[in-house]
Chains A and B, each alone.
Chain A
Amino acid sequence: MATKYLQRYSDGERMNHWVIALLFLATGLSGLAFFHPGLFFLSALFGGGVWARILHPFMGVAMVLGFLGMFLRLWRENLMNEADKEWRRHSMDMLRGDKSRMPPVGKYNAGQKGVFWLMSLCLLLLLVTGFMFWQPWFANSFPILVRRIAVVVHAASAVALILGVIMHVYAAIWVKGTVRAMTRGTVSEAWAKQNHALWHKEMSGK
């Protein structure tokens, strides 16, 4: 019997996602170059330290703009509801490999929603604090103490964002059949029924 597929993401959503992903990679690698001396070699990927410094904020702003598009498409579906509490209560069971007690979820489970809001918050903080020490245009408009706090918040938000992305990518690799949602736009019906039962019901009308 041929596998049936359900449309999970439109072409626009998928391209939007991958634009953000590529910009995240470039912004993240150039930012890490400044964060730790042991990672300064990453600046070579961008043409050296000076170019990494020049490019990093532009790529970061582009990433935030890209994410804004994603945010506007998806924020409603990521609002937490009562059912998510139940999911969170059993999330440790799932990590241990026992899915039997997981409640049926809609398009996104509580973990995915958490990652969505974590990324939204981190990117907002990165954007705001980034302007505060963006040389040579904006930094001089802010008092030095504000810049000192901004660099710490910027670094902490970046680390939180990277941890969020690691979770996001791992979840996609861990739950088989997920990656094609972003590479092809579709998921198998069986995948939907197993991992997002309520969404499956909604999509298939069953």
Chain B
Amino acid sequence: MSSLQSLDIAKRSATTTPSPQARHSNVEVAKLIDVSSCIGCKACQVACMQWNELRDEVGENHGTYDNPRDLTPQSWTVMRYSEVEVEQNKLEWLIRKDGCMHCEDPGCLKSCPAPGAIVKYTNGIVDFISEHCIGCGNCVTGCPFDVPRISQADSKAYKCSLCSDRVGVGLEPACVKACPTGAIRFGAKEDMLDYGAERVVDLKERGYGNAGVYDPQGVGGTHVVYVLQHADKPELYHGLPADPRISPWVSLWKGAAKPLAVAAMLGAVVAGFFHYMKVGPVETKEDADEKADA
């Protein structure tokens, strides 16, 4: 959200040259969300609103606990409540805190045409630098998780910043600080994966044979990871994609198409120039025609 930051930048949207690389002390961070320990209290949603000074419109009750019903420019994280029966007659209430996954290979950043409007810090956080945002919506097209939202008020894209402003000064994200059960944790990604593995062992002992950590490799891993009771069926958790990756359409558009198209257009102009120099123009033979007429 903010460009006032003390974090080093690893990747920058619409930029073809390398980022400054002299400093390389940064540890990759991750937020771990243990779905099995979540009680759905929404303290994280409130903390996010409070820290980021966001106030969504008060919506309507649609007969579920989901409120608001979707991510919005003013709600960067929402709790998703899914009632499922994995085994017959055994209702489970799966509550997933949804928001930006902070992909190692971010589809939003790949799609963004505005230089520096999306950055990935060396610690892995993907951040929107809103004053550079041009409001085109390409990040929505690029995201494999359907996370960014364009504001109708100012035509800028918004999403969870993983509290980059807090992390930059050594604090944990607001949602982590507010979570009363310890379901949300923050630290070095390595440590979070170790902790997640312990949780998985515990869950397996308690009968969740398919428990696991969700750190999808199709996007190079994420800096928000989940502990899921049913890691074999992530779709149960309000449609969490089983194998998210950047769409091949986006890869084509922001990959091969760019150099090929520029080469074709420049090539056509250069070919025309040399054709003219080699073959010469088609002149109108004024005299010859007049003589022929005569």
**Residue ranges of A at the interface with B (Cβ–Cβ < 8 Å):** 1, 3, 33-40, 43, 48-50, 52-53, 95-97, 99, 133, 135-136, 139, 144-145, 147-149, 151-152, 155-156, 159, 162-163, 166-167, 170, 173-177, 188, 190-191, 193-195
Contacts and interface: CB of A to CB of B under 8 A. Distances in A.
Nearest to B294: A1
Nearest to A147: B141
Interface in B250-294: 250, 252-253, 257-258, 261-262, 264-265, 268-269, 272, 275-276, 279-286, 289-290
A162 B269 CA distance: 10
Interface in B162-211: none
A62 to B, nearest CB: 19
B77 interface: no
Given A133-B137, A147-B140, A148-B141, A40 B285 contact: no
B253 to A, nearest CB: 5
A191 B141 CA distance: 51
Interface of B: 14-16, 113-115, 132, 134-138, 140-141, 146, 150, 152, 155, 247, 249-250, 252-253, 257-258, 261-262, 264-265, 268-269, 272, 275-276, 279-286, 289-290
Contacts of B16: 37-38
Contact of B115 (A37, A50, A139): A37
A144 B282 contact: no
B180 to A, nearest CB: 35
B42 to A, nearest CB: 26
Given A135-B137, A136-B155, A163-B264, A49 B114 contact: yes
Contacts of A145: 247, 249
A147 B282 CA distance: 45
14 contacts: A1-B290, A34-B136, A34-B138, A48-B134, A52-B134, A155-B253, A156-B261, A159-B261, A163-B264, A167-B268, A176-B283, A176-B284, A188-B286, A190-B289
Nearest to A96: B279
A166 B283 contact: no
B272 A166 contact: yes
Contact of A40 (B114, B150, B258): B114
A75 B161 CA distance: 54
A159 B252 CA distance: 14
B113 A33 contact: yes
A50 B154 CA distance: 11
A166 B282 contact: no
Contact of A166 (B152, B257, B269): B269
Contacts of A163: 264-265, 268
Contacts of A40: 14, 113-115
Contacts of A1: 290
A118 to B, nearest CB: 13
Contacts of B146: 144
Contact of B289 (A133, A155, A177, A193): A193
A3 to B, nearest CB: 7
